[in-house]
Chain A
Amino acid sequence: MKHRTFFWFFLPTGLAMLLFIAAPIVSVVLQSVFAPHEAVLETVETCTPFRCSEETAINQEATRALREERPLGRFVGLDIYLDRGHLAVAEVAEAWRSTDSFGAFFSELGDLPFYRAMGFTLTYTFTVTPLLIVLGLMIALAVNALTQWLKGIVIFFSLLPMIVTPLVGSLILFWMIDNRGVLGNFLSWVVGDPDLSVKASTPLMWIALIVYGVWHAAPFAFVVFYAGLQTLPEDQIEAAQIDGASRWQQVRYIVVPHLMPLVTFVALIQLMDNFRVFEPIVGFNAAAHATSLSWIIFNDMSGETRQLSAAAATSVMTIIGVAILLSPVLVRTWRDFKGKT
């Protein structure tokens, strides 16, 4: 394609990307290095239906003057990235100095919101992603082996977890694992402990969230792999069968290599999605046991006082985190691309 043609061809997409991807990212980065002005506080008489008292309030005139002078707020550089709510540099250094074992150091780290969130997020991402790929592949192979008239119904039901709104899906599971719910009751009957509560135990809650994550995302992998299976070269399979390859060998040496580009695609999308795990934490009311970067952003924005700068800093860190996670896959894709040309 001529450069000139390419330019006009790409222009609309390029503009849309600038407007909807680049501009918001620039705005978030800007937001994260500016914080609200220092509040000018004063003590004033405050009367409510119950009583009058002397209370601290913000001096509106003085604050308004500050805002008009510098509408972006106060420039704080990387302060917010380094504070306790984020990378907590000072606290981590202190924990390193004051602890004498790795165990103690990591338990101190778990007390800091960012590291606690990363602990769960990474565990979740790296268990859910492989599990859902394997499960999706198994479902796809099973469905592909069905007779034609059964396929439609089975495909529909296999897709249900993905069709159900994430929040609703997690709420359903949340009620089922309640210690008075179906699954919760069943579990406590299995282990013979009537007081067993999934929601009160951190490890069990993590497992519940991971099970939910796999349940919710496996249909996506299934659909992609099922589509891939339709392009499976029949002659290779037949040749393998003539050579006496078992079903497992056929899958291992023909089906999986054929689907490999799709596995990369699913892994890419799901790594990104799982790193931003959010809905199940809210749906399961699981914030006491598990948090994620997305949950921290939500939490910063939903208090009585919205912490825009803190939320913006966490957003930038999420973008960086996703970029780091995807880098091996992206580098591979780039190499493949270079290899081909």
Chain B
Amino acid sequence: MFMKSMTAAGILAVLSSTTAFADSHGCTIGARVSIVGNEFPAIQTVGAGAQECTGAEVSTNLTADHQEINVPGMQGNPAEYTSAIIANSSIVALMNNDVIRPLGDLVDAYGEGLNSNQLITIGGDVMAVAFMANAQHLVYRSDVLEQVGLEPPSTYEELLIAAEAIRAAGIMEYPVGGAYAAGWNLAQEFNNMFLGFGGVHFEPGTAVPNVNSEAGVQALEMMRALSEYMNPDFLTHDSNATNAEYRAGNIALMNMWGSRAATLVTAEGVPQEVVDGFAIAGPMTVGGGDIPASTLWWDGFTVASNISDEEAEATFIAMMNGIRPDMMQDEDVRTQAVWLIPGYEPTPAAIGVFAAAEAGTIPYPMLPFMGLMHTALGNELSDFMQGNESAEQALADVEAAYTAAAREQGFLQ
């Protein structure tokens, strides 16, 4: 469905793109625009697009620490930032603090040409406009798998077999790359595996944790099994480190973000066999389930509530200029992300994310208390990964840590 609508949109946009291109530089705004967001290339492109508008100042603050400044920067009145670029995990903090406005009227007035699936609606209100999709999926070395005579794995069980074969053949000692750094990354890998085993983080309709379950234990045991094939320093490896390991030719199989996969081997000094062997596939399933052990993500923009209507209008117009369809003509821009923008034609680097969407991967939970659960997982699972305690104990610790935090935040009584 996702693939279909994207392709349909692609065809439509090819037909209309010439006209769109002609009037792209007609962006004039009447009030200040100030954007805060993450710093990866796709968002840089959107920010630069918004800054092409004339008539008033458009400033951007694109940084990896955007989550720490967007809420404080939008709580004041008037807000410092008129727009925050966020993902499905981080929009929650903005909603919890009531700092973004519904966009229905602005979409009606200036949102012409947006696909309906770009509109993030919560309880009937459009709260954000999405422009790209993301997911973690398999990245592998086709040459190494050929050497051991195996197909790219479609399940984590097959990945373990492939890893053992590569080690046994003496090609690599630690063939699996895992972004298992204690904290956010480790928690995210658990989320992937937990959802793959059919787990649900909370008891439906409540903030009561539900990770200390059979799926939770199975997920941790699979993570432990995988870690046997990872560089022993895995608890310090974030996705930057696993990327570096892949580039250095030290690993052959890893779960990597779609937004990073496209540029993985374009860095300088990557050995030729790594460049040639670079290949992408969809996310893997686990434990015989049919839902991939991964999560779907979107990135989009919001508009602050503590600003004047003129500023909100200007912000929306500028952001729309940052995601205008004719940008999809540019080959470099196209490879930067899996865009949801009309006119986008997928590049080969996008197949992993498309496969994730087609296989029914579950979107990262957009719940008010998911951030607390993520933090608790990131802090409490490292003891298990080091072999210091049982899976059940680690998950009980997660629930206890989450419960304390959720009580403080008023989600649990």
Mark A residues whose CB is within 8 Å of B.
Answer: 35-39, 41-51, 55-58, 60, 63-64, 67, 74, 76, 79-80, 83-85, 91, 111, 113, 174, 178-179, 195, 197, 199-200, 202, 284-289, 299, 301-307, 309-310
CA distance A230 to B296 in the complex (A): 66
A-B contact pairs, 20 of them (CB 8 A): A39-B410, A45-B121, A46-B123, A47-B121, A49-B118, A49-B120, A49-B298, A57-B123, A58-B95, A58-B96, A58-B368, A113-B379, A179-B232, A179-B233, A199-B233, A202-B386, A287-B382, A299-B183, A304-B93, A305-B93
* Nearest-neighbor residue (CB-CB) of B116 within chain A: A47
Apart from A49-B298, A305-B375, what are 5 other A-B pairs with CB-CB below 8 Å? A44-B123, A46-B121, A80-B408, A288-B235, A305-B368
Chain B CB count within 10 A is highest, among A74, A301, A306, for A306
Q: A80-B408, A179-B232 are in contact. Are A303 and B371 (CB under 8 A)?
A: yes
B273 within 8 A of A: no
Measured between C-beta atoms, what is the minimum distance from A96 to chain B in Å? 17
B130 within 8 A of A: yes
B96–A48 CB distance below 8 A: no
Q: A41-B368, A179-B231 are in contact. Are A91 and B400 (CB under 8 A)?
A: yes
**Chain B contact residues: over half helix, strand or loop, or mixed?**
mixed
A63–B235 CB distance below 8 A: no
Q: Tell me which residues across on chain B come within 8 A of A50, comparing CB atoms.
A: 2, 117, 133, 296, 298, 357, 363
* Nearest-neighbor residue (CB-CB) of B121 within chain A: A47
CA distance A44 to B95 in the complex (A): 14
Per-residue A-contact encoding for B90-108, CB less than 8 Å = 1, 0 else = 1011011010000000000
* Nearest-neighbor residue (CB-CB) of A174 within chain B: B236
Q: Tell me which residues across on chain B come within 8 A of A113, comparing CB atoms.
A: 379, 401
B88 within 8 A of A: yes
B133–A49 CB distance below 8 A: yes
B286 within 8 A of A: no
Measured between C-beta atoms, what is the minimum distance from A246 to chain B in Å? 48
Q: Tell me which residues across on chain B come within 8 A of A41, comparing CB atoms.
A: 206-207, 368, 411
Measured between C-beta atoms, what is the minimum distance from A309 to chain B in Å? 5
Q: Tell me which residues across on chain A come within 8 A of B231, comparing CB atoms.
A: 179, 197
* Nearest-neighbor residue (CB-CB) of A67 within chain B: B98
Partner of A57, one of B95, B233, B397: B95
CA distance A174 to B2 in the complex (A): 43
* Nearest-neighbor residue (CB-CB) of B305 within chain A: A60
B25 within 8 A of A: no
B266 within 8 A of A: no
B363–A51 CB distance below 8 A: yes
A285–B366 CB distance below 8 A: no
Measured between C-beta atoms, what is the minimum distance from B271 to chain A in Å? 15
Partner of B98, one of A60, A85, A178, A287: A60
B401–A84 CB distance below 8 A: yes
Q: Tell me which residues across on chain A come within 8 A of B207, comparing CB atoms.
A: 39, 41, 56
Q: Tell me which residues across on chain B come within 8 A of A301, comparing CB atoms.
A: 68
Measured between C-beta atoms, what is the minimum distance from B104 to chain A in Å? 13
B386–A37 CB distance below 8 A: no
B366–A310 CB distance below 8 A: no
CA distance A302 to B374 in the complex (A): 11
- Which chain B residues in 127-157 approach chain A with CB under 8 Å? 130, 133
Measured between C-beta atoms, what is the minimum distance from B357 to chain A in Å? 6
B366–A287 CB distance below 8 A: no
B89–A56 CB distance below 8 A: no
B413 within 8 A of A: yes
A288–B236 CB distance below 8 A: yes
CA distance A76 to B404 in the complex (A): 13
B36 within 8 A of A: no
Per-residue A-contact encoding for B143-178, CB less than 8 Å = 1, 0 else = 000000000000000000000000000000000000
Chain B CB count within 10 A is highest, among A51, A55, A178, A305, for A305
CA distance A48 to B368 in the complex (A): 16
A48–B120 CB distance below 8 A: yes
- Which chain B residues in 240-265 approach chain A with CB under 8 Å? none
Q: Tell me which residues across on chain A come within 8 A of B400, comparing CB atoms.
A: 84, 91
Q: Tell me which residues across on chain A come within 8 A of B96, comparing CB atoms.
A: 39, 58, 305
Chain B CB count within 10 A is highest, among A36, A37, A286, for A36
Partner of A304, one of B67, B232, B296: B67
CA distance A63 to B366 in the complex (A): 18
Q: A49-B298, A57-B95, A57-B122 are in contact. Are A111 and B368 (CB under 8 A)?
A: no
A47–B120 CB distance below 8 A: yes
* Nearest-neighbor residue (CB-CB) of B361 within chain A: A50
Partner of B233, one of A55, A178, A310: A178
B205 within 8 A of A: yes
* Nearest-neighbor residue (CB-CB) of B5 within chain A: A49
Partner of B367, one of A55, A80, A303: A55
Measured between C-beta atoms, what is the minimum distance from A170 to chain B in Å? 12
Q: Tell me which residues across on chain B come within 8 A of A285, comparing CB atoms.
A: 181-182, 235-236, 238
Per-residue A-contact encoding for B204-247, CB less than 8 Å = 1, 0 else = 01110000000000000000000000011111101000000000
Chain B CB count within 10 A is highest, among A57, A80, A202, A299, for A57
B2–A56 CB distance below 8 A: no
The 10 closest A-B pairs by CB, nearest first: A304-B371, A44-B123, A305-B371, A288-B382, A288-B182, A197-B232, A285-B236, A303-B375, A38-B410, A84-B404
A310–B133 CB distance below 8 A: no
B348 within 8 A of A: no
Partner of A55, one of B71, B118, B366, B382: B366
Partner of B408, one of A83, A179, A195, A284: A83
B317 within 8 A of A: no
CA distance A288 to B181 in the complex (A): 8
CA distance A42 to B207 in the complex (A): 11
Partner of A64, one of B98, B117, B401: B98
B117–A49 CB distance below 8 A: yes
- Which chain B residues in 325-374 approach chain A with CB under 8 Å? 340, 357, 363, 365-372, 374
A35–B371 CB distance below 8 A: no
Q: A48-B298, A84-B400, A304-B92 are in contact. Are A199 and B366 (CB under 8 A)?
A: no
CA distance A318 to B119 in the complex (A): 45
CA distance A174 to B96 in the complex (A): 37
